[in-house]
């Protein structure tokens, strides 16, 4: 058994690796290769029916995948689009489940409303792995942020609703109980996730070995998931919260070498888990068909019901996204109207040399004004200024990356179902009426969603003719690069290193002008001069990183540009420290 399992695992890894190597060359997402391939293999006579315990997916695979996605997701984007994310991941899931519940109970004989809602809850959430296709196709960054945020949270909503529906099938829960369970599942999970994420950063900041550090990171999603589930909360939300905390604090608390190690190793984990679950999804089809044939003689009903359910989910999603996009557009226009007032306030919040600043007695963003001025300390002014800058940056973000009709259409079509739907369906109790038919229906929805929506997504994006923002990002990178040069100069000037080491000022001046020739110039330095030169550059990098984190908090630049610049600084610091270790 052990040898067979290892053999199958090795073959599976090679198939996943091959799909990820071939997919980009064929301009096809690896999932669209792995699912049909798994289906084809499942029909081979030499392959017996495969059935995977759903707990392996829901407990073993999903927490690390959602945690990894949360670590990679900029918290700034998550905060800015939380209205859309929460609406899609909570309200839309509940709405879709209820609508599907009534329709499925009418289409499938013997299925009552509670069972229909249970299947609706299984079908409703989009898949985080499937959503990754949109990002790889170059969708607008705001659309990607909304879809990623939705997929991080909607699984938890769906699973809580599924539990409630299963309890209702047994006659053991009320509407009030469902609401209380949901609130507890989310609030307790967020608390657990925040604590685990904070402890994770605190502990790993004190570990010097990168390998050990990364090994510990593999346990974090489970350390968050397991206690949350023990408390009756959502382990998936806890894993997501821990990931968001880790992603936000990593640049501040973890060494660059550790962050790079985490990134590379987690990419490998993601590739294997994502590919593996899609491959398994295809392999399970033959077994599902066998169960349906035993109970219903034909699987045709599941096919048509699944396609109808997919159509309903798309219609409900479109009906929900339309008003949501309109509301977000109105909110952006309101922000544009108050922008001049905020800019005027920002000009008054100019830093002073320790002198108090007189500001009107009014709430910063309130409507009710009070006569007279009030003195504020420089520290208070700095906090006010940061809040104003953040609000202005948010307004600029909403105006520069609007969610219009085209973006809304992409949000609707890119909401694909995936392996979570199949795994959740298999958790239905064994005595559920027409259970095998319901499971196959869920599989049909997931497979059809991936193949139809995922297969046509590149064409759909081209047909929308979305605006190209590459030139804006290039301009943004140039502006940030200039700002980083200024912060490097300030950091080295404030350190006093230039005045304490003869000739260092000239060398650093030449480096700042022509950084690409730095290696040739450094090669001719004496060991002591080289050590001083590297020390000065590390001081500059530290100043630049501090400035980057401040800019991230204010949201002045887009998350992608800030992430790229931070990666450049990390790579340079790692290179410099390796040289000092080798000398």
Convert the pLDDT of each residue in 318-361 to its tens digit.
999 999 999 999 988 888 888 888 777 777 666 555 555 555 55
Residue 201 half-sphere exposure, CB side, CA atoms within 13 Å? 19
Residues 437 and 334: their CA atoms lie apart, in Å, by 50
Identify the helix (H) or strand (E) that includes residue 376. strand 369-376
**How high is the pLDDT of residue 356?**
57
Instruction: Assess contact for 397 and 562: CB atoms under 8 A.
Output: no
- Band (pLDDT 50/70/90 cuts) for residue 514 is low
The alpha carbon torsion through 177, 183, 186, 187 (nearest 10 deg) reads -130
How many other C-beta atoms are found inside a 10 Å radius of the C-beta of residue 97?
26
Q: Which residues pair with 370 in a beta bridge?
A: 361
Over residues 293-320, the mean pLDDT reads 86
Classify the C-alpha dihedral 172-174-177-179 as positive or negative. Answer: positive
Binning pLDDT at 50, 70 and 90, where does residue 175 land?
A: low
pLDDT for res 362: 53
Q: 372 near 361, Cβ under 8 Å? A: yes
User: Residues of 536-575 as b/e, b for ≥16 C-beta within 10 angstroms?
Assistant: bbebbbebbbebbbebbebbbbbbbbbbebbeebbebbee
With contact defined as beta carbons under 8 Å apart, do 318 and 326 qualify?
Answer: no
Q: Which of 31, 569, 511 is nearest to 274 (CA)?
A: 31
Q: Which has more pLDDT, 230 or 364? A: 230
Q: pLDDT: is 209 or 348 the higher one?
A: 209
φ/ψ of residue 327, rounded to 5: -65, -40
């Amino acid at each position: 058994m052990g040898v067979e399992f290892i053999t199958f695992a090795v073959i599976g890894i090679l198939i996943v690796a091959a799909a990820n190597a071939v997919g980009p060359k064929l301009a096809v997402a690896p999932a669209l290769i792995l699912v049909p391939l798994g289906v084809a293999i499942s029909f081979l006579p030499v392959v017996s029916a495969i059935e995977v315990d759903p707990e392996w997916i829901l407990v073993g695979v999903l927490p690390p995948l959602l945690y990894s996605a949360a670590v990679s997701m900029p918290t700034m984007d998550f905060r800015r689009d939380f209205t859309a994310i929460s609406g899609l991941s909570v309200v839309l899931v509940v709405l879709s489940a209820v609508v599907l519940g009534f329709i499925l109970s009418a289409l499938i004989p013997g299925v009552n409303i509670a069972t229909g809602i249970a299947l609706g809850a299984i079908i409703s959430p989009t898949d985080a792995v499937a959503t990754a296709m949109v990002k790889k196709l170059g969708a607008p960054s705001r659309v990607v942020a909304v879809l990623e945020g939705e997929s991080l949270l909607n699984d938890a909503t769906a699973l809580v609703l599924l539990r409630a529906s299963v309890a209702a099938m047994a006659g053991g829960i009320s509407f009030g109980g469902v609401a209380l369970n949901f609130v507890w599942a989310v609030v307790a999970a967020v608390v657990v996730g925040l604590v685990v994420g904070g402890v994770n950063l605190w502990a790993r900041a004190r570990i010097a070995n990168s390998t050990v550090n990364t090994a510990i990171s593999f346990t974090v999603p489970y350390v968050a998931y397991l206690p949350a589930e023990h408390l009756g909360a959502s382990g998936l939300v806890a894993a997501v919260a821990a990931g968001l905390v880790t992603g936000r604090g990593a640049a501040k608390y973890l060494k660059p070498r550790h962050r790079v190690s985490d990134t590379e190793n987690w990419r490998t984990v993601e590739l294997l888990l994502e590919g593996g679950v899609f491959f398994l999804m295809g392999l399970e089809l033959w077994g599902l068909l066998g169960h349906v044939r035993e109970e219903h003689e034909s699987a045709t009903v599941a096919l048509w019901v699944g396609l109808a359910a997919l159509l309903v989910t798309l219609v409900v999603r479109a009906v929900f996204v339309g008003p949501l996009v309109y509301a977000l557009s109105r909110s952006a226009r309101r922000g544009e109207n108050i922008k001049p007032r905020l800019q005027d306030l920002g000009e008054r919040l100019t830093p002073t040399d320790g002198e108090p600043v007189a500001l009107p007695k009014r709430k910063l963003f309130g409507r009710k004004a009070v006569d007279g001025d009030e003195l504020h300390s420089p520290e208070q002014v700095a906090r006010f200024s940061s809040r104003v800058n953040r609000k202005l940056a948010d307004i600029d973000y909403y105006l520069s990356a609007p969610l219009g009709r085209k973006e809304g259409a992409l949000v609707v079509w890119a909401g694909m179902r995936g392996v979570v739907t199949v795994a959740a369906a298999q958790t239905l109790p064994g005595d559920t009426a027409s259970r095998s038919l319901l499971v196959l229906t869920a599989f049909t929805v997931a497979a059809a969603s991936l193949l139809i929506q995922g297969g046509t997504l590149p064409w759909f994006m081209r047909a929308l003719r979305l605006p190209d923002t590459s030139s804006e990002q290039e301009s943004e990178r140039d502006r940030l690069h200039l700002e980083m040069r200024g912060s490097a100069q300030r950091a080295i000037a404030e350190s006093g290193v230039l005045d304490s080491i003869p000739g260092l000022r000239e060398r650093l001046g030449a480096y700042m002008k022509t950084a690409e020739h730095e290696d040739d110039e450094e090669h001719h330095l004496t060991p002591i001069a080289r050590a001083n030169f590297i020390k000065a550059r590390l001081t500059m990098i530290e100043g630049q990183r501090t400035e980057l984190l401040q800019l991230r908090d204010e949201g002045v630049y887009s998350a992608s540009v800030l992430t790229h610049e931070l990666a450049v600084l990390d790579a340079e610091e790692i290179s410099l420290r390796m040289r000092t270790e080798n000398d």
